Structure 1
């Protein structure tokens, strides 16, 4: 049967009537061409013309429908390939584009990674060259002269420390170093990333120390006896940068560490601005001999401030922050206690050190006994039985209160008077009050008596009958930076007076049946105040501390009138300096 001939005798003009039925147009009605047969611009023009009916006589350029047998009907059009062809084709093109993009940019990415790695190596080579040597197995250069860099031991030294962990002080010529120089060496060692291991764990790169001389094994004394150098020591260096009680508080903890680690405890007074240690205290070697009785102190050039596991560790007021900070607290606090109870181990350690290791020499001990005897006579005048007394420490000079309520000034003397009366009435109601006043202000005693209307009996070094004791009273306010300007004899005398004041305020170093204070009034900003609590003892200072670490407000004898218990913990064992 022959195929019908396509209709050609038709017009696409708009009919005169609106009710004539029209054949719907499809996307394939334009001469049988699918949309892909047009360019994007042509399709855009066609879409715009589809809505253009400005003239009713607009002519149709091509038939509405085209026969599939026509040559103009595409054999492989959109419908022939399926509706999903376009999406699949786009996916293939997108995947090909992503792969090409990745391959094009891959060299740039690899170059950036290599550049970053080289930058890290440059930083390490400048900051931590010993790590590069260790990681890559390179030999440590032996011509370095920087104190912070490692150096191999020479022919006169022996050491089991790996060469890359040797500490060199080659740039220094005078030993022992100053406190600030030891601090700088600690800064170099502890800069950058810090590992938070246990307190006595080695450095992250292993054991570190200086090279030790072979001659340390023996030493020929003039008498012909041979004395070996101590194998392990902790030395407290009196650097002359802080007050007496600030040093004693830190020294007490250092001596406790030596006992804990079974190391010999030593004191270095090379740079002390108060004379020699033995001018005021007994030799610590006799009080705390350590595991190697009679061993010789190590050479000064072998003292190491950091790390603490070095054979001959040295601690001073400037390096204490590296050893008595958070790591020390984590290791020696009572982790299962609360507030004040957490620091009980440090309190007990300081008390042992002050009772056994740090004791006044014979001269100072005699002066302390004389002052106690004189105060005892005053107390006996008011009672048949020797009554206790109360200590008051009034600090001025360069020690400002920590509380904001006293910002820019000092705690008023009237606060001391009121606190003394309240404390005495709480602890010893009805008994006459006798106060021992210790102060760096010569007029403090006079101010106190004026404000108390002579209701209190007061005593101080300046009131002693002994002229030698009177001469030990503080002549002026204590300012640390001005202390070195005094003559050496004046500094020694002021130090001796402070030792006696501290003994009377705290009750430390008292012999049997000697009087001690029932309470002490002071301000926390002073290290005299901190250690006075230790001298009083835990129970007398804080009363019956409950399980939550709160002070017994009725029985406490340590009365701090600066912060007034508003900080936690209410007591600290020492002060750290920068």
Structure 2
């Protein structure tokens, strides 16, 4: 609304005239819009207490009394904690557990029910660690448990030592000052004592060994070659470290040790309880070694500490002490070698004699004629073991290369016989290996082609070489083989029949690796004996040709000895320029 400056100011509004309104109330004013009661105004806090009471004064006596009781409670808590630590109760221990490949330090109210490294603290607050194996577990443990313990040892040792400690993993004989052996841990009540075992009375009261090394023939590797090399190295290592050597064949997938060899070592002492025998660390008094712990016992630090010649001599020492075939097989090897050497083709030998030669002369002409044949051993590895050479790494070295190397060494002389040993039965009749003989004929692998030609097409034929999955699948029950069609892997653990339960209420399962059927065990024993007979025959040869990628080739070098293998060149590797090695790690 626009107002002009010249207009008179507006007049106030008026009420309608009535009898009840006076002249003064006829016009509206600001007081008409104000409430009849005054608006309450905010008041400031009073300086005097309400109800006339004075504020309480600070009571110093109550404060002192409260601080006194609080200090008493804290003191009692520390005294109780110190007493519990001093008594070494198991509730104060910490241990390392693994979930897959993730490791955690976990507080627990009791010892774990599985084998594991254990971190602990003594009364002085110093940290240590040891290996805890429950007493109720049988010996030997599954090979997966041994590998799991060794994989955790480095982590728990670093945890106990702290961040300032430098790593000594490359030093083979480094003794960790924080490690406490099981025997010492039990004496200090960190671990429960070993329960009494009545089996000790059956051991003619032999004293407990001060130090020992137990080689466990386990199912970590289906091959027999790596097992032999590990056993021979363990034998020599035990002698160097003044340990008593024991061989355990409880879980040996090939059966019993006595099936293949004459006898086991017999130390003059007995082993302690199973909880004392640990796979790691190396400084433990009672050490367990198997194919599952090769990378920790005979790994990088082992090869850094010992030279190649020293490792070779260690394997040679173990071979000379332990490779004693059972009498029947040993006699077969000696008789066959003698027959092959003396089976001389006299027609060829006499054809080179001059016609005018007087056989009554005393010039020892016959000394120039070889009295017996020379033997060339050829070992051809196929199956799941491929060569190191890049050219054949996805395939196999052709048989003609083996034969060409043999002819280069000895020529075309008829006084040399070529012995072939292979895990592939087809190599014995291969077109590129003419005029060759089987190394041994006592136990022969038959190919499917050979069986078919003999009218036994449904027989068990060995085709393509040694494959670990084929080995584990030998002699499995038919119901277990059917699982392969459903995508289940082999080998496997199968349920017992009739729903049998174990002590924990779980359904029993049979591990066919370590508990094979009777038929499977017989087949495995035949394969093992054939392998050992092949090695023994080839070791009697004058020249050996093989590929160093195969464990059998490395074993043959050890059986020939350092001088013959590397100085006289009787051992010939056709797998590139790779050097001899004991084990893969």
Deviations 1:470-495 (A, max 9, x none): 47999442112221222110110110
The change in CA–CA distance for 1:226 and 1:376 in structure 2 (over 3 A counts) is: same
Structure 1 vs Structure 2 CA RMSD: 3.1
Alignment of 1:83-482 (within 5 A): 143-145=110-112, 147-150=115-118, 164-170=128-134, 173-191=137-155, 193=158, 194-196=167-169, 198-209=171-182, 211=186, 213=194, 215=196, 219-221=200-202, 225-242=204-221, 243-286=223-266, 289=267, 293=268, 295-333=269-307, 343-378=308-343, 385-425=371-411, 430=413, 432-447=415-430, 450-452=431-433, 454=434, 456-461=435-440, 464=441, 468-470=442-444, 475-476=462-463, 477-482=465-470
- How many residues align? The count is 380
1:44 match: none
Separation in 2 of the partners of 1:402 and 1:475? 24
Residue segments in structure 2 that go unaligned for 5+ positions in a row: 1-92, 97-106, 159-166, 187-192, 350-369, 448-460, 475-519
Q: Secondary structure at the match of 2:118?
A: coil
Separation in 2 of the partners of 1:367 and 1:300? 40
Q: Does the Cα contact within 8 Å between 1:208 and 1:307 map onto a contact in 2?
A: no
Q: Secondary structure at the match of 2:254?
A: coil
Separation in 2 of the partners of 1:148 and 1:528? 35
Q: Secondary structure at the match of 2:428?
A: helix
Separation in 1 of the partners of 2:534 and 2:169? 41
2:532 to 492, 499, 516: 499
By how many angstroms is 1:172 displaced? Answer: 7.5
By how many angstroms is 1:521 displaced? Answer: 0.8
1:29 match: none
Q: Secondary structure at the match of 1:327?
A: helix
The change in CA–CA distance for 1:469 and 1:371 in structure 2 (over 3 A counts) is: farther
Separation in 2 of the partners of 1:300 and 1:375? 49
2:523 match: 490
By how many angstroms is 1:359 displaced? Answer: 2.0
Q: Does the Cα contact within 8 Å between 1:280 and 1:361 map onto a contact in 2?
A: yes
TM (norm. structure 2) is: 0.59
Separation in 2 of the partners of 1:444 and 1:216? 53
Deviations 1:459-512 (A, max 9, x none): 333xx4xxx544799944211222122211011011001001011122xxxxxx
Deviations 1:283-341 (A, max 9, x none): 3314xx4xxx2x223333432000112121111111110111221122222xxxxxxxx
The change in CA–CA distance for 1:367 and 1:180 in structure 2 (over 3 A counts) is: farther
Q: Does the Cα contact within 8 Å between 1:218 and 1:228 map onto a contact in 2?
A: no
The change in CA–CA distance for 1:310 and 1:375 in structure 2 (over 3 A counts) is: same
1:559 match: 572
Q: Does the Cα contact within 8 Å between 1:527 and 1:575 map onto a contact in 2?
A: no
By how many angstroms is 1:180 displaced? Answer: 1.6
Separation in 2 of the partners of 1:167 and 1:536? 41
Q: Does the Cα contact within 8 Å between 2:170 and 2:300 map onto a contact in 1?
A: no
The change in CA–CA distance for 1:348 and 1:144 in structure 2 (over 3 A counts) is: same
Residue segments in structure 1 that go unaligned for 5+ positions in a row: 1-127, 132-139, 154-161, 334-342, 507-515, 544-554
By how many angstroms is 1:423 displaced? Answer: 1.9
By how many angstroms is 1:144 displaced? Answer: 3.3
By how many angstroms is 1:575 displaced? Answer: 2.4
By how many angstroms is 1:409 displaced? Answer: 1.1
TM (norm. structure 1) is: 0.60
Separation in 1 of the partners of 2:345 and 2:536? 20
